[in-house]
Structure 1
Amino acid sequence: MAKKKIYCECLNTVKPVRDTLDVISGKWKLPIIISVGVGNSRFTDIQESIPGLTPKVLAKELKELEQHQLIKRLIIEDYPVKIVYHLEPYADTLTPIIYAMKDWGISHREKIFKK
C-alpha cells in the first residue's frame, strides 16, 4: 500500500511539472516571453534581442505561445500594417517561475564555477 501511495504522490507532482515544461521548455520560449515582457513588441525587435533566433523559429514559437494564451498578436490597421506582440495577463503567472529559475541559475553557476 505504501509503494502505491508514493507512486501516486510522484505522479501527482510529475504530471503538472511535465505540463508546465511542455508549454515553456525549449531553447526559445522563455527568452521570447522575457523579451516581450521587457517591451520588445515588434517581430524584428524580439528577434534582435535574442541572439541566434531565426525568423522561422520565432514565428513558430510565437504561434505556440499564442495558442497557450501567453502572448497576444495584434494587427494594427495602418499604412503599412503593423503587427505587435504583447504578453497576456495570464503570462504574469510565469513571473515567479522565471525569477525562481533565475535565482537557481545564479546559485548553480556560483556553486559550479566558484568552488
Structure 2
Amino acid sequence: MSTTEEASAQLIYPPNVLANQSLTNIKFLSACFAGAAAGILGLQNWLGFTLFLASTLLTSFAVYAINCRGKPAKYFAGGLTELVNPGQDTAFTFVLVWTLFYGIVHVYD
C-alpha cells in the first residue's frame, strides 16, 4: 500500500461510517413514507414530486441538526451536498411506493 492510500485509509473513522449507513436507511424510510403519503393522497405529476422534495429537505435538515450537529463535512465526504442529495435509489423507491399505494387506494376512481 502506498503512503497516499494509507493516509486516506486513516481518515475513515468507523463511527462516522456507521452514521453514513444509518443515513442511507433514514433516507430510504423517508422515501417510503413520502411515497405512501403521495399515493394515499392521490397526488399526481409534479405535486407528488414536490412532496418528495419536501420530504428529502425535511429529512436532510433533521439529520443535519440532530446527527451531524451542524458539521456535515465531518461525517460525509461531500459535506452538505451529500446530505441533501436524494440519490437514485431513494427516488426509485419513492416512485415505486407512490404508484403502489396510488393503485391500491384509487383503483376504482
The higher-RCO structure (CA 8 Å, 6+ apart) is 2
The normalised TM-score by structure 2 is 0.34
Structure with the higher strand share, 1 or 2: 1
Structure with the higher helix share, 1 or 2: 2
